[in-house]
Amino acid sequence: MRWNGRLAISRCHPRPSYKTTLAILSREAYSATGKKAALFPCCPRDSRLSKNRTVRPSKQLDEPEMEARGSSRGGGAAAGKMTMRVLLLSVLLMATASRSRAQLQVGFYDTLCPAAEIIVQEEVSKAVSGNPGVAASLVRLHFHDCFVRGCDASVLVDSTPGNTAEKDAQPNTSLRGFDVIDSAKTRLEQACFGVVSCADVLAFAARDALALVGGNAYQVPAGRRDGNVSSAQETNGNLPPPSASVSQLNQIFGSKGLSQAEMVTLSGAHTIGNAHCSSFSNRLYSYGPNAGGQDPSMDPSYLAALTQQCPQQPAAGSAATVAMDPVTPTAFDTNYYANVVANRGLLTSDQALLADPTTAAQVVGYTNSPDSFQADFAAAMIKMGGIGVLTGNSGTIRTNCRVVS
């Protein structure tokens, strides 16, 4: 590509990149020698540009012409130069705004790394076939990543002597599935070194995990880049606690751009996986104003079964877990909502969805419309996967998901 008062084009781009814009502004937009410069050669999508075809703007003004026009309007040369400066500043601002709105896209790796999604799917399939519980772990891992700093794979980073990373924050100590991401990433680096981000691997893995246990398969827009920061402190206030009310859930989900309806939908992820006894033991042994009773909203037979699985005085070092859905614990279905309607929601935040009149109707509706739930859940996962993403020149591509580049 050469600059000589005109632009020789070998490939058609609908708009110049951010870096190209800066180069134009600094080198070619306004030449002190009076040479003309083509700021933005336009390439319509249906155009057929031959190699080195020259694209000229319809009309350009060199410095003498600008000064003449400025003088004719009473502004002189200074007015002409000021007009050009304003124009160039506007161009730069538009380019910057365009860059900040960079979008994820389906098929992002079709050319860059054609086997990317296949490799991830194979590794997830291998893991889930050996342990169906891995599916819930991968979905939860993606959720916890996106809700802290956005979907930037910061949850995958290991702590160092000088930094406690997200994964070691109290809400994340029970996260699993890191080894599946590591396996997929190792293969991806062998196939396409430094191309596929850890954040995209995590988004693909969550989708594939759901599909393997009965969820709808959906297309994942990709192009995320990885973050360079992971701090345990940033989990505070960003992840919903198991004791959350609907109001608290709305506040946390709303801060991520998700609606109440999407919050209820994404809560359906609790139809698979397990919960530690410690996350709901207050409902069994220390409920109410005196912290000494049992939650009266819980189905009595369910409560009795839970007290057997989670004794009030657990054995030392016990980390007992209970299936979130005791009926079909490894199937992604609507039994979660049926359980909530039957007062068998495991967590306080689960049962709260029925107790609150603004969410109860949606909970009941999903029990009778599994297809609607599956479609809504896929759409909500796609939206969640776009929270706070880094794209373009932001962030990095880690070759090891556990280590910040």
299 assigned to a ligand binding site: no
CATH fold of 246-384, please?
Peroxidase; domain 2 (1.10.420)
Check whether 90 is labelled as a binding-site residue. Answer: no
Please indicate whether residue 337 or residue 32 has the higher confidence score (pLDDT): 337
Which residues are known to be catalytic?
144
166 carries a ligand binding annotation: yes
- For the chain, what is the mean pLDDT? 82
Q: How far apart are CA 312 and CA 307, in angstroms?
A: 7
Q: What is the 3-state secondary structure (H, E, C) of 182-231?
A: HHHHHHHHHHCCCCCCHHHHHHHHHHHHHHHCCCCCCCCCECCEECCCCC
User: Does 150 carry a binding-site annotation?
Assistant: yes
- Least-confidence region, from 10-14, 221-225, 241-245, 252-256: 10-14
φ and ψ at 160, to 5 degrees? -125, 170
86 is in an annotated binding site: no
- Is domain 116-235 annotated with CATH 3.40.50.720? no
Residue range 188-207, pLDDT digits in tens:
999 999 999 999 999 999 99
Higher-confidence position of 38 and 210: 210
Helix 246-254, helix 260-267: angle, nearest 10: 110
Domain with CATH 1.10.520.10 in the chain: 116-235
For residue 319, what pLDDT is reported?
A: 85
Q: Tokens at residue 179, please?
A: 């080894």
Band of residue 313 on the pLDDT scale cut at 50, 70, 90 = confident
CATH 1.10.420.10 segments of the chain: 246-384
- 364 in Cβ contact with 341 (< 8 Å): yes
Exposed/middle/buried for residue 238 (C-beta within 10 Å: 0-12, 13-18, 19+): middle
pLDDT at 40: 33
111 marked as binding residue: no
Least confident span in 13-27, 64-78, 380-394: 13-27
What is the per-residue pLDDT across 18-75, written as a single tens digit (0 to 9) for each? 333 333 333 333 333 333 333 333 333 333 333 333 333 333 434 334 333 344 444 4
Compute the average pLDDT of residues 200-222: 98
Q: Say whether pLDDT at 79 is over 60.
A: no
pLDDT in the model for residue 90: 45
80 confidence band (pLDDT: 50, 70, 90)? low
Tell me, rounded to whole angstroms, the distance of Cα 232 from its chain centroid.
Answer: 18
What's the residue count for the chain? 405
99-145: per-residue pLDDT in tens? Answer: 333 589 999 999 999 999 999 999 999 999 999 999 999 999 999 99
